[in-house]
Homo-oligomer: A and B are copies of this chain.
Amino acid sequence: MINKPVKKALGRVVKSTEMPDITKNFSPKQLAEAITAKRTGMKLTLVDVSEALSISKPTLIKIEKGDTSVKLANLLKVMEYLGLSFSIVSDDLIPNSTTTGVNDDEWY
C-alpha cells in the first residue's frame, strides 16, 4: 500500500506548472505534463516522490519528460500517488455488450 502524499511543514520552494488540457487526445507528452502539473500543484519535489515510492530521480525525470522507455509499473505508481488515473478509450466501442444482450462479436 502506498501512503498518501502529505503537505510538508512549510516554506519549500516548488515551481507550479500549468495543467495541460486533458480533454485533448492522449499523448505521452501530455501525460508527462499532467504528472508534473499535479506534482508541483501538490507542492511535492521530485525527491519527495522519489523517496515515497522508491523510484530514482532520473527515472522520475524520464517519466516527466514523456520518455516512453519506462516501466509501466513505475508510471502507474507515480500516477496513483498523485491521484491520476487512466480511462480506456476504444476508437469504436459499444460499451458493454452484456447490457444490450446482442451483437457480442461485433462490438469493435
Contact = CB atoms under 8 A, between A and B. Distances in A.
Interface of A: 16, 18-19, 21-23, 25-26, 28, 30-31, 34, 37-38, 41-42, 68-73, 75-76, 83-93, 95-98, 104-108
A105 B72 contact: no
A38 B11 CA distance: 50
B42 A108 contact: yes
B76 A28 contact: yes
Contacts of A106: 41
A89 B35 CA distance: 11
Contacts of A84: 88-91
Given A42-B108, A107-B41, A88 B26 contact: yes
